[in-house]
Amino acid sequence: MSNLDLIQQFQLTFNTTAIPRTFFAPGRINLIGEHTDYNGGHVFPASISFGTYALAMKRNDQKLRFYSQNSPNTGIIECDMTDLSYNAAHNWANFPKGMIKYLGESGLDISAGMDILFYGNIPNSSGLSSSASIEMVTGVLLEGLFNLKVERIQMIQLAQKVENNYIGVNSGIMDQFAVGKGKKDHAILLNCQTLEYQYAPIQLDNHAIIIINTNKQRTLASSKYNERCLQCEHALADLQTALPISSLGELTKQQFEQHKHLIQDDTNLKRAKHAVYENERTLEAFNELQKGNLEKFGQLMNESHLSLQQDYEVTGIELDTVVQAAWDQPGTLGARMTGAGFGGCAIAIVENDKVESFKTNVNKIYSETIGYEAAFYTAAIGDGAKEITEECSK
Ligand code: GLA
Q: Which of 37, 80, 83, 175 is catalytic?
A: 175
Whole-number pLDDT of residue 379: 87
Same domain, 265 and 244: yes
Q: How far is the CA of 216 from the centre of ligand 1 (A)?
A: 17
pTM: 0.96
Burial of 296 (0-12, 13-18, 19+ CB in 10 A): middle
Q: How far is the CA of 172 from the centre of ligand 1 (A)?
A: 6
| Within-domain flag for 387 | no
The atom of ligand 1 lying closest to the CA of 30 is 12
Distances (CA, A) of 355 to 192, 305, 360, 362: 34, 21, 9, 10
Q: Which mutation among 136, 156, 171 tests ligand 1's pocket best, with the greatest number of atoms within 8 A of CB?
A: 171
| Within-domain flag for 196 | yes
Q: Is the beta carbon of 90 within 6 A of some atom in ligand 1?
A: no
Whole-number pLDDT of residue 218: 72
The atom of ligand 1 lying closest to the CA of 225 is 11
Q: Which mutation among 35, 167, 173, 278 tests ligand 1's pocket best, with the greatest number of atoms within 8 A of CB?
A: 35
The C-alpha angle 275, 279, 282, rounded to 5 degrees, equals 140
Same domain, 240 and 340: yes
Same domain, 164 and 138: yes
- Measured CA to CA, the distance from residue 158 to residue 78 in angstroms comes to 23
pLDDT string in tens for the chain (394-residue length): 888 899 999 999 999 999 999 999 999 999 999 999 999 999 999 999 999 999 999 999 999 999 999 999 999 999 999 999 999 999 999 999 999 999 999 999 999 999 999 999 998 788 999 999 999 999 999 999 999 999 999 999 999 999 999 999 899 999 999 999 999 999 999 999 999 999 999 989 899 999 999 999 776 678 899 999 999 999 999 999 999 999 999 999 999 999 999 999 999 999 999 999 999 999 999 999 999 999 999 999 999 999 999 999 999 999 999 999 999 999 999 999 999 999 999 999 999 999 999 999 999 999 999 999 999 999 899 999 999 987 766 5
Q: Is residue 383 annotated as a catalytic residue, yes or no?
A: no
Beta bridge partners of 294: none
| Within-domain flag for 32 | yes
Task: Yes or no: say if 198 and 45 are a contact pair by the CB < 8 Å rule.
Answer: no
Collapsing DSSP to helix, strand or coil, 240 comes out as helix
Same domain, 273 and 192: no
Task: Yes or no: say if 239 and 257 are a contact pair by the CB < 8 Å rule.
Answer: no
Contacts of 73 (CB under 8 A, 6+ apart): none
| Within-domain flag for 72 | yes
Q: Is the beta carbon of 172 within 6 A of some atom in ligand 1?
A: yes
- Measured CA to CA, the distance from residue 174 to residue 34 in angstroms comes to 9
Strand order in the sheet with 197-201: 42-43, 186-191, 197-201
Same domain, 101 and 119: yes
Whole-number pLDDT of residue 219: 67
For the chain, the domain total comes to 2
Q: Is the beta carbon of 34 within 6 A of some atom in ligand 1?
A: yes
Q: What's the domain range around 288?
A: 207-378
Pairing label, strands 42-43, 186-191? antiparallel
- Identify the H or E element spanning 131: helix 130-145
Task: Yes or no: say if 120 and 70 are a contact pair by the CB < 8 Å rule.
Answer: yes
Q: Is the beta carbon of 27 within 6 A of some atom in ligand 1?
A: no
Q: Is the beta carbon of 40 within 6 A of some atom in ligand 1?
A: no
Length of the chain: 394
Task: Yes or no: say if 135 and 385 are a contact pair by the CB < 8 Å rule.
Answer: no
Q: How far is the CA of 20 from the centre of ligand 1 (A)?
A: 33
Contacts of 293 (CB under 8 A, 6+ apart): none
Which phi and psi angles does 333 have, rounded to 5°? Answer: -85, -35
Same domain, 169 and 252: no
The atom of ligand 1 lying closest to the CA of 38 is 10
Taking each helix axis as running N to C, give the angle between helix 130-145 and helix 174-181, from 0 to 180 degrees, rounded to the nearest 10: 50
Q: Which of 168, 201, 234 is the last residue of a domain?
A: 201
Q: Which mutation among 135, 174, 193, 231 tests ligand 1's pocket best, with the greatest number of atoms within 8 A of CB?
A: 174
| Within-domain flag for 281 | yes
Q: Is the beta carbon of 387 within 6 A of some atom in ligand 1?
A: no
Same domain, 183 and 213: no
Whole-number pLDDT of residue 1: 80
- Identify the H or E element spanning 138: helix 130-145
The atom of ligand 1 lying closest to the CA of 36 is 12
| Within-domain flag for 389 | no
| Within-domain flag for 386 | no
Task: Yes or no: say if 303 and 288 are a contact pair by the CB < 8 Å rule.
Answer: no
Q: How far is the CA of 111 from the centre of ligand 1 (A)?
A: 33
Same domain, 157 and 239: no
Task: Yes or no: say if 251 and 242 are a contact pair by the CB < 8 Å rule.
Answer: no
CATH of the domain at 78: 3.30.230.10
- Measured CA to CA, the distance from residue 46 to residue 40 in angstroms comes to 19
Same domain, 148 and 260: no
The atom of ligand 1 lying closest to the CA of 33 is 12
Same domain, 271 and 285: yes
**Rg of the Cα atoms in the chain:** 21
Q: Which of 185, 201, 217 is the last residue of a domain?
A: 201
Distances (CA, A) of 379 to 46, 220, 345, 348: 10, 27, 12, 10
| Within-domain flag for 388 | no
CATH of the domain at 316: 3.30.70.890
Same domain, 238 and 166: no
Whole-number pLDDT of residue 220: 61
Same domain, 125 and 227: no
